[in-house]
Chain A
Amino acid sequence: MLEIKNLHAGIEDKEILRGIDLKIKAGEIHAIMGPNGSGKSTLASVIAGNETYEVLEGDIVLDEESVLEMSPDERAHKGVFLSFQYPVEIPGVTTTNFIKTAINAKRKAQGLEDLPAKDMLKMIREKSDLLEMDRKFLSRSLNEGFSGGEKKRNEIFQMAMLEPKLAILDETDSGLDIDALKIVANGVNKLKSKDNAVIIITHYQRLLEYIVPDFVHVLFNGKIVKSGGKELAHELEEKGYDWVKNL
């Protein structure tokens, strides 16, 4: 589904990603772990098409098509979803209105009519129940005055609504207490199918106890220095990140 080939990317003159190779098949969950500043969030941003970063070399191929020339919204229409580490606030725009706009934008790109309001409401009800969300959040301005945990849950709610092919969860566990973490993880697991894939970016292996990855990659200094199965996460937890620095 996704193939990243020798990806080099950076900001201004600073190279952050220094040759990343990664293959993800439909139905797989990949975890990317690494110390602060290793380039985890940059990788997520570059896949999603954030123009702050420049791709210097390599390619990102989604369903046999390079996405490098695509704008972030085109990539989203192709099924890329990024759960942000720091979701932005949009005053005056309710979560409901925002997600409705997003869904209909995607449908428009696919040549479909707007989703009828009835269906939209039904879907909103189902997905908010899945994430045990208080529905009053949906009529509040997007992320405005939300706690860290509420923002993250809202991200996963949007993911549930948009049903992406490739979901990238960037530090979704940070700011979540253990109960919220379980709910979010449970939501992600339910959304998982043989047709989609998930990339979990995390600093700790805590989330990986609830969303069990098929593969774990360790990112350090802009490169994947080690890949393995889920046991690699435990090994990292035990040995600490200093261990990877010497790999």
Chain B
Amino acid sequence: MDNPKPRTRNKKFTEDDLKKELETQEYEYGFYTDIESDTFPKGLNEDIVRAISKKKNEPEWMTEWRLEAFRIWQEMEEPEWANITYKKPDFQDIAYYSAPKSVDPNKTLDDVDDDLLVMYKKLGISIDEQKRMNNIAMDIVVDSVSVATTFKDTLAKKGIIFMPISEAIQEHPELIRKYMGTIVPQTDNFYAALNSAVFTDGSFCYIPKGVKCPMELSTYFRINEGGTGQFERTLLIADEGSYVSYLEGCTAPARDENQLHAAVVELIALDDAEIKYSTVQNWFPGDKHGNGGVYNFVTKRGICYENSTISWTQVETGSAITWKYPSCILRGDNSVGEFYSIAVTNNYQQADTGTKMIHIGKNTRSTIISKGISAGKSQNSYRGLVQVNSRADNARNFTQCDSLLMGNECGAHTFPYIEVKNKTAHIEHEATTSKIGEDQLFYCNQRGIDTEKAIALIVNGFSKEVLNKLPMEFAVEAQKLLEISLEGSVG
């Protein structure tokens, strides 16, 4: 049998090409230096893993790390414990590397799907951003470039490293080798192993000792988001006494053709550090009949050393399937883990999401606030583990899981697991289930508020505790997103 080999291009590299590449590079801020379109053949084997590594000019140790992950993955079974049903992907029918799409000079916004444009308008997304998301050439890029350059300068002055992980592997191998895979090892689970073998890019961030990152790493990231990959890998290290707020994702609907997404995010909060990590996930959820949509299998985990805090906030409205448990290992004494989540499912979407709080250190505290909103024929599950180890004296946890149902055909499920091995632990769990009632809707209608707006109001009220945790600018967008995700859910 022939082993599929990656295609290589032997086009002569001219000065014009270089100029063009530099321009693009500047616009993309170096996230992608290779704009030539090439895609690897479908299928996964050691050669493909090697080829990805080669494509990224990776050092030998990285290639070996990937291969190790691949071998582990081959021995693993796809997990079946989650409360989701779907047709398992054929892993040999996926192309594991495809270069980012370049701008099509003939394309205009008129070529973009009308539904998508309507949604952009509702979300208040600028024309420039709309174009960028649809690979349309932009008239004005100067503004965003200058903004990004200013950001880069500010960050550099503080010694903050923020770059694509592929570059970090080249430029900061010591940090990568020290931390990558320490929180989510290659052996962790089926999808994490797969990601470890084939990840193509993602972000790397290092905040030096005592540095408070002066800005939300958001606008910057959003500008860079054009080439979000199928297998993203993010590594974020907050050194002692530092602080960072990191925003991932975009409220704009992402119609990715890749059905399977398996990202890995690792956070390291060293002593006295604080990391806030906010996500808005709005991948294509499939149509209203349940066709298509992204399968989102994500492993996110952080470790907290002494007196440090990791706070996860997520707004999950997209994807046909969501399988995601952003977790905290509270290793250091007095460390704090937080998880604030809103998960919306509509039509045939399925979400199985929650968190794990592992209390190891003394006086560790964790808070879990989960808001599940189910509409249509969707299934929405909260799955959470609170584990208190024997040496974790005076550990505290507060968990609140609220479910809001719309209509009679959806489901809300709660699977809380509590494992306590220390008598001094204090665990609280609260759960509620409610339904948007006709009386509530009529009340709003009577005040002149139409049904769509009334649902948005009720849902926003229900989600408020979590929305309040998002950075201001993101929170406003997230509110609109909730509205749009539930449109048409009450007939």
**B-binding residues in A (CB < 8 A):** 48-52, 71-73, 76-77, 80-82, 84, 87-88, 90-93, 97-99, 101-102, 105-106, 109, 141, 158, 162
Within the complex, the shortest CB–CB distance from A144 to chain B, in Å, comes to: 9
* B445 and A90 within 8 A (CB): no
Contacts of A92 in B (CB 8 A): 460-465
Q: Quick check: A91 and B462 within 8 Å, CB to CB?
A: yes
Q: Which residue in B443, B450, B461 is a CB contact (below 8 Å) of A141?
A: B461
* CB <8 Å contact, B461 and A93: yes
Q: Tell yes or no: B449 within 8 A of A by CB.
A: yes
> CB within 8 Å of A: which residues of B?
437-440, 442-451, 453, 457-458, 460-465
Q: A101 vs B444: C-alpha distance in the bound complex, in angstroms?
A: 10
A72 with B438, Cβ < 8 A, contacts A91-B461, A92-B463, A93-B460 known: no
Q: In the complex, which residues of chain A have a beta carbon less than 8 angstroms from the beta carbon of B463?
A: 92
The answer, among B439, B449, B461, B464, for a CB contact under 8 Å with A102, is B449
| Beyond known contacts A73-B449, A93-B458, A109-B448: 14 more, CB 8 A cutoff | A49-B445, A71-B450, A73-B451, A76-B445, A76-B448, A77-B448, A88-B440, A92-B460, A93-B457, A98-B457, A101-B449, A101-B457, A102-B447, A102-B448
Top 8 A-B pairs ranked by shortest CB distance?
A: A92-B461, A93-B461, A76-B448, A72-B445, A102-B447, A92-B464, A106-B448, A88-B443
CB-defined contacts of A102 to chain B, threshold 8 Å: 444, 447-449
Offer 24 A-B interface pairs, CB within 8 angstroms, sorted by A.
Answer: A49-B446, A52-B442, A72-B442, A72-B445, A72-B446, A73-B446, A77-B448, A88-B437, A90-B443, A91-B461, A92-B460, A92-B462, A92-B464, A93-B457, A93-B458, A93-B460, A101-B449, A101-B453, A102-B444, A102-B448, A105-B447, A105-B449, A105-B453, A106-B448
Q: Which residue of A lies closest to B459 (CB)?
A: A92
Shortest C-beta distance, A117 to chain B (Å), equals 15
In the bound complex, residues from chain B placing their C-beta under 8 Å from that of A51 are 442
CB of A62, distance to nearest CB on chain B (Å): 14
A147 CB to closest chain B CB (Å) equals: 18
List B contacts of A93 (CB < 8 A).
457-458, 460-461
Q: Which residues of B contact A91 (CB under 8 A)?
A: 461-462
B448 contact from A50, A88, A162, Cβ within 8 A: A162
Contact A48 B461 (CB under 8 A): no
CB neighbours of A106 from chain B (8 A)? 448
Q: How far apart are B445's CB and chain A's nearest CB, in angstroms?
A: 4
Q: How far does the alpha carbon of A105 sit from the alpha carbon of B463 in the complex, in Å?
A: 22
CA distance A21 to B460 in the complex (A): 42
CA distance A49 to B464 in the complex (A): 30
Instruction: Let me know if B443 and A158 touch, CB within 8 A.
Output: no
Task: Give CA–CA (A49, B438) in the complex, Å.
Answer: 13
Given A88-B439, A101-B453, A76 contacting B462 (CB threshold 8 A): no
State the Cβ distance, B446 to closest chain A Cβ, in Å.
5
* Minimum CB distance partner of B437 in chain A: A88
With both chains docked as a complex, state the minimum distance between the C-beta of A211 and any C-beta of chain B, in angstroms: 21
Most interface-central of A49, A72, A99 (chain B CB within 10 A) = A72
> Which of A80, A84, A105 lies in contact with B450, CB distance below 8 A?
A105
Contacts of A99 in B (CB 8 A): 447
Compute how far the CA of A73 lies from the CA of B446 in the bound complex, rounded to whole angstroms: 5
